[in-house]
Amino acid sequence: MNAHVLQPPDPDRSVAERIAEVLTRRIVLGELPPGHKVGQDLVAAEFRASHVPVREAFRRLEARGLLVSEPRRGVRVAPIAPEAVHEVTEMRAALEVLALREAAEALTDADLQEARQALAAEEESGELIVWEEANRRFHRALVTPCRMPRLLQAIDDLHQASARYLLATWKSLDWEPRSDAEHRAILDALTSGDVEAAAAVLREHILAAGRALRQRLVALGRI
Amino acid sequence: MNAHVLQPPDPDRSVAERIAEVLTRRIVLGELPPGHKVGQDLVAAEFRASHVPVREAFRRLEARGLLVSEPRRGVRVAPIAPEAVHEVTEMRAALEVLALREAAEALTDADLQEARQALAAEEESGELIVWEEANRRFHRALVTPCRMPRLLQAIDDLHQASARYLLATWKSLDWEPRSDAEHRAILDALTSGDVEAAAAVLREHILAAGRALRQRLVALGRI
DNA sequence: ATGATTTTATAGATTATCTATATTCTATCA
DNA sequence: TGATAGAATATAGATAATCTATAAAATCAT
């Protein structure tokens, strides 16, 4: 019996991969809140799958820091704590700056064009989730040319965590479109070939965004 | 039937975790060479386990970069390439420096004492593998106090990769004990409270070791 | 009401079985 | 003889039914 009613069959991707993908999206979007218990049998039933690929998907998300697993007690959606925001922010700053420096010499006009388009998409976006997608596109355009798969994967994982913190903290309601002046400054520096200036702005940009997020999160905690 | 003949039963750790641990050790030590095909049924038979926890162990090691998985073709031990050495080296430099800076204010005399003991163990070691263990102890002592679990996990994973590259490149035969002057310089800087100097030396130390490793690996490739 | 005890639900794992694909072996033909 | 198409085999990925141990919930006795 072919089991994949909801998802397209797609023989090139394993069931575990597809489950991991859907669960990732739900966690990042906040549909599954922090601390939420994710029962393997429930997920298996939903995806018309057995518990084996579900457990494999759990292991993937655990490695990415989206799920936490307690022995004999199953898995839960990772909590959102100010310390974790700080951690992810600092790691992003360190690794994205590294990636940008490594990408710089390989950076083509097409890459810069992609970043410009992402920036335009940010400025057009009226909704947080749309802005966040463009934001990720922008950052990714700058680092992808470094061609370091392990580094890029680590940055992607951290970005996912960041996006989750952002969406959980600023609900679309009270979010207002931001100027993205820093993104523009990074692009200008890169266009004029000043990689170090771009790296410095990128670093401060990530840290500032992290600080804002952390403050807001602490404030929410006090309410 | 209780299945655990070789490993102690230990109900607190899952079968998957124990398999992952043993496979990790084998890959790091080079007992399983790069490119080696790891058959799930073979591993399952060896551990007297079913293929389910074996696959979970595979997912863990895949996330750590020790295994690579091709759909429908199973998993292989990750290759060792000069580009990967460069990548891991740069990531380690970035993240360990971050961790050291964050750890600095929490660094106790006990931590420094542990680092000193590790340094002594390095200098006493006549064998590469013993030295490597002490080396990891040293680096870990400096970063652990930062209390950032995600960062520490990432550093640990990178260290494992580094250790694998080191052991694969310098077979114990042609390795000679090294002075570890840089480790001593880091310790001296920290003892005198100069965190920035320690961070600078740590960074250069990691990068220099990475360069040496990479050069040797490229040379081996040319033979 | 509360603490101890039973019940229930479920995580983790096994075993047998199934399908699809990669690989290997073999036989055929140029 | 050598390349290649096709059959046979091995195995990855997955299912389903079942089992044990434990954590959580419900029940009962005090």
Q: What is the mean pLDDT of chain A?
A: 91
pLDDT of residue A1: 33
B140 in the same domain as B68? no
Q: How many CB atoms lie within 10 A of CB B74?
A: 14
Q: Find the mean pLDDT for residues A181-198.
A: 95
The residues of B whose Cβ lies within 8 A of any Cβ of A are 12-14, 16, 52, 55-56, 59-60, 63-65, 71, 83-84, 86-88, 90-91, 94-95, 97-98, 102, 148-151, 154
- Average pLDDT on A133-138 reads 96
Identity of the residue numbered A55: R
One digit per residue, the tens of pLDDT, for chain B of length 223 reads 333 333 444 456 889 999 999 999 999 999 999 999 999 999 999 999 999 999 999 999 999 999 999 988 999 999 999 999 999 999 999 999 999 999 999 999 999 999 999 999 999 988 899 999 999 999 999 999 999 999 999 999 999 999 999 999 988 778 877 778 999 999 999 999 999 999 999 999 999 999 999 999 999 876 6
Which of B77, B106, B122 is at the close of a domain?
B77
**Residue that the structure tokens 């895949």 belong to:** B62
Looking at the structure, do residues B37 and B101 belong to the same domain, yes or no?
no
Where residue A168 sits, what CATH number does that domain have?
A: 1.20.120.530
On whether residue B7 sits in a domain, the answer given is: no
Instruction: Say if A98 falls within a structural domain.
Output: yes
> Nearest nucleotide by C1' from B74 CA?
D12
**Rounded mean pLDDT, A169-188:** 86
In a domain, B136, yes or no: yes
Same domain, A52 and A152: no
A3 part of a folded domain:
no
Q: Is residue B9 part of a domain?
A: no
- In chain B, what residues touch A12 (CB-CB under 8 Å)? 71
Q: How many domains does chain A have?
A: 2
Closest chain B residue to A94, measured at CA: B94
Nearest protein residue by Cα to C1' of nucleotide C11: A72
C-alpha distances out from residue A176 to A6, A119, B14, Å: 35, 16, 47
Expressed in angstroms, the distance from the first to the final Cα of chain B is 51
- Does B56 share its domain with B158? no
Written as one letter, the residue type at A195 is V
**Is strand C less than 7 A from the beta carbon of A51?**
yes
Same domain, A162 and A114: yes
| Residue B10 falls inside a structural domain | no
- Cα separation, B136 vs A186, in Å, equals 37
Please identify, among A77, A106, A124, the residue that sits at the C-terminal boundary of a domain: A77
Measure, in angstroms, how far nucleotide D16 C1' is from residue A55 CA: 16
Residues B205 and B144 grouped into a single domain: yes
Cα–Cα distance, A93 to A87 (Å, whole number)? 10
Q: For A83-123, how does the pLDDT look when each residue is reduced to its tens digit (9 = 90+)?
A: 999 999 999 999 999 999 999 999 999 999 999 999 999 99
pLDDT at residue A222 greater than cutoff 70: no
A36-68 residue pLDDT tens: 999 999 999 999 999 999 998 999 999 999 999
CB A169 within 8 A of CB A221: no
- Among all chains, which residue has been given the structure tokens 């965190």? B195
Which CATH number does the domain housing residue B43 bear?
A: 1.10.10.10
pLDDT at A12: 67
With respect to residue B8, please indicate whether it lies within any of the assigned structural domains: no
Kindly report the backbone phi and psi dihedral angles of residue A75, in degrees, each rounded to the nearest multiple of 5, phi listed first. Answer: -120, 150
Domain that holds residue B156: 82-222
Instruction: Clarify whether residues B127 and B172 are in a common domain.
Output: yes
Residues A67 and A158 in one domain: no
Reading across the β-sheet that carries B67-70, which strands appear in turn? B37-38, B74-77, B67-70
Are residues A87 and A60 part of one domain? no
* CA distances in angstroms from B98 to A40, B91, B102, B148, listed in the order given: 37, 11, 6, 11
**A95 and A159 inside one domain:** yes
A26 pLDDT band, cuts 50/70/90, is very high
Among B29, B52, B77, the domain-final residue is B77
Same domain, B118 and B161: yes
With contact defined as beta carbons under 8 Å apart, do B157 and B204 qualify?
no
Q: Between chains, do A90 and B52 touch, taking CB under 8 Å as contact? A: no
Chain A residue with Cα closest to B16 = A59
Question: Is the minimum distance from the CB of A31 to strand C below 7 Å?
Answer: no
Residues B68 and B90 in one domain: no
Between residue 124 and residue 163 of chain B, the positions with Cβ below 7 Å from nucleic chain D are: none
Residue B117 is assigned to a structural domain of this protein: yes
